[in-house]
Structure 1
Amino acid sequence: MTARNPTDRPVDAIAIVGPTASGKTAAALALAEALQTHGGAEIISIDSALVYRGMDIGTAKPSREELAAVPHHLINTLDPLQSYSAAEFAKDATWLISDIRARGKTPLLVGGTMLYLKALLEGLNDMPAANTEVRQVIAQRAAQLGWPALHAELALVDPATAARLAPADSQRIGRALEIWTTTGRSLSSFHQSAKASAPDWHIPVISLEPTDRRWLHARIAQRFDQMMAQGFLDEVKLLKARGDLNPDLPAMRCVGYRQAWQGLDEGWNEAEICERGIFATRQLAKRQITWLRSMPQRYVVQADGQQLTATCVQTVAFNLLQD
């Protein structure tokens, strides 16, 4: 596959995105290696889980060797007790892109947290700060009615946001309802307003997408099995043993960790934890693909092209950089 730069402007960075388990890390590392003869590259992670220290196995974090091979940013920067927003990512990534380019290298934005990428490319409006009282009321109603019921309520006042959220996505459903309650405006309206003042980036998006969804499902299952074999449950037990973490923190709500934490609390066996973790990861991948398909400007590379995937990514990237 080839692609050409549709403008005369130089590329600010290249994004390599895709659903979980689609091969983004391997493709990015191969591209970074190929770019060593063109000034080099550095990787900026677009991943809401990789920012956390001590969460290595369940996030499929790049190995020490991979992290050492190419400079990486926004990995292992926070304690799981902390939170990290899309707005903070956009601010950090903006500075990193400028810094990497100033050193003559190509920034590679790599990951699958689509809200982070959206915040960087389109900007985010100045949404209201968290309202603890309203948030508590929403949480109490969710405890009585269930999050799917609140998801249905959200669909009435903000159908655009509800359409992209799973009925059990308590964190984002709660935030959207909180914004509606405190401002009378939908979360999607804030996002639409932000587009008018979007940053003037030229960041092409290369998207790794499978032609056969069964291939991706098999990859997800295989990777979760490998994580379990590598000691994922022991990793979660260590996090629980700290005593200062809880399952409602953003870090512990990451896919896989949420199911493992709940399973350990409720006495599930390993097979059930694995089954539920795989199901949740597949649901995440489905949402990621939906996000990607809403970006018509992306360059699609066949993720299930096996060894050809990295070559295709390199071809697209070099054409974009050289035009």
Structure 2
Amino acid sequence: MPADTRPPAIALMGPTASGKTALALAWAQRHGGEIVSVDSALVYRGLEIGAAKPGAEERARVPHHLLDLRDPWQTYSAAEFAEDARAAIADIVARGRLPILAGGTGLYFRALLQGLSPMPPADPATRAGIAAEAQARGWPALHAALAEVDPEAAARIGSTDPQRIQRALEVYRLSGRPISAWQRAAAPPRLPCRVLKLAIAPDDRADLHGRIEHRLDAMLAAGFLDEVRALRALPQLRAHPRPLELPAIRAVGYRQAWEHLDGAGSAAEFRDRAIFATRQLAKRQYTWLRGERDLRWFDPARDGQRLQRALDAFLGTR
């Protein structure tokens, strides 16, 4: 097989508060890189402190892409992200710079690196029928039914994963085509670079939990609640009938802060709920990362030298 001569790019993945941003900044400065944010909160204007958005000083040191693309009352899809990210990466490569993709939004990484399947949208009637069958027969029985029509998907999906079983059966019943076939047909256009995929993830969850608490306390000290008060005062959000359903306000921390300012619990209770929500986000991110192929794992506290060697080998530097 001929060598891949495309220029390099780095994908820095990992759970929230694992240290991806600091590492991306250091590497970008050292290797002539530019950062492409892969974070579904950072696309929204006005989400600054609570989203840990890079500030003016960091942006002056290193060019950043895909920040502040939408107002907080607007939406932004994974498909839009993939298109915008491809354009940013092509521009960075064309200027001889190193793209560093950094963030924790798994769906965005999947849309960019693997593509999104143009499969049938959700159908409430079909879903209701599947749910009724599950109530009568149990999800393991529906998993067995899925195995008959789509053994590839059934092998990937656990028998106790109702959401994915339901979606796979829904797609098959709506289209007559297995969901695995839709997913295979979703190969995205080839990126103009070869990508080294790295997971920055502490081995010790207690370490990550401590980082989460420390970061939230720093955000509160920096005025996070005042930031949410300013969002609540925006006319477009004041007029919105269900602001808590907006993707921007559903971002971890923001939803809990919004509810606290609505009178739901004390400041201490808000802090506890925000920490719990952030830990749950990290847990989902670990689950997604474990399913990623060609991903190399590093503990930021223990594997610094090994991580640097992996980067140097990929870039061909010493």
Structure-1-length-normalised TM-score: 0.78
Residue 67 to residue 41, structure 1, CA distance change in 2 (3 Å): same
- SS of the equivalent of 1:49 reads coil
The aligned counterpart of 2:149 is none
1:58 and 1:257 in contact (8 A); partners too: yes
Query: Does 1:199 find its partner at 2:199?
Result: no
Pick the aligned partner of 2:251 from 254, 257, 264: 254
Match of residue 58 from structure 1: 50
1:70 is aligned, of 62, 80, 84, to: 62
Contact 1:211–1:304 (CA<8 Å) still a contact in 2?
no
CA distance in 1, matches of 2:260, 2:175: 38
**CA offset digits 1:180-207 (Å, max 9, x no partner):** 5994689964762345x34334211111
Question: Aligned residue for 2:5?
Answer: 9
Cα distance per residue 1:168-187 (max 9 Å; x no partner): xxxx99x969x759946899
| Alpha-carbon distance in structure 2 between the residues aligned to 1:212 and 1:302 | 9
Between 1 and 2, higher relative CO (CA 8 Å, sep ≥ 6) is seen in 1
The 1:19/1:208 distance shift into structure 2, 3 A limit, reads same
Instruction: Tell whether the 8 Å contact from 1:42 to 1:100 is kept in structure 2 after alignment.
Output: yes
One-letter code aligned to 1:59: A
Aligned with 2:313 (options 310, 316, 319): 319
1:76 Cα deviation after fit: 1.4
CA distance in 1 between counterparts of 2:175 and 2:267 reads 45
Shift of the 55–199 alpha-carbon distance from structure 1 to 2, 3 Å rule, reads same
Q: Is the 8 A contact 2:11 2:102 kept in 1?
A: yes
1: CA distance, partners of 2:13 / 2:306: 14
Q: What runs of 5+ residues in structure 2 fail to find an aligned partner?
A: 129-134, 147-152
Aligned equivalents of 1:75, 1:96: Cα separation in 2: 12
Please name the residue that 2:106 is paired with: 114
> Hey, what does 1:144 align to over in structure 2?
none
Contact 2:119 2:171 in 1 (8 A): no
Q: Which amino acid aligns with 2:190?
A: D
Determine if contact 2:13/2:102 at 8 Å carries over to the other structure: yes
Report the AA paired with residue 96 of structure 2.
G
**Cα offset, 1:57, TM superposition:** 0.8
Counterpart mapping for 1:1-323 below 5 A: 7-35=3-31, 40-128=32-120, 134=124, 183=174, 189=180, 192-195=183-186, 197-201=187-191, 202-242=194-234, 243-245=238-240, 246-305=243-302, 309=304, 312-322=306-316
2:7 and 2:93 in contact (8 A); partners too:
no
Equivalent-residue separation in structure 2 for 1:314 and 1:191 (angstroms) = 38
What's the offset of the Cα at 1:91? Answer: 0.8
C-alpha separation between the residues in 1 aligned to 2:311 and 2:182? 29
- How big is the shift at 1:225? 1.2
1:313, CA displacement in angstroms?
Answer: 4.0
Gapped runs of 5+ residues in structure 1? 1-5, 142-148
For the residues of structure 2 that align with 1:49 and 1:57, how far apart are their CA atoms?
Answer: 11
After superposition, the CA RMSD in angstroms is 3.6
Instruction: Look at both structures and tell me which one has the larger radius of gyration over its CA atoms.
Output: 2
Q: Is the 8 A contact 2:45 2:68 kept in 1?
A: yes
d(CA) in 2 for partners of 1:188, 1:262: 38
Deviation at 1:266, TM superposition (A): 3.5
Counterpart CA distance in 2 for 1:318 and 1:211 is 23
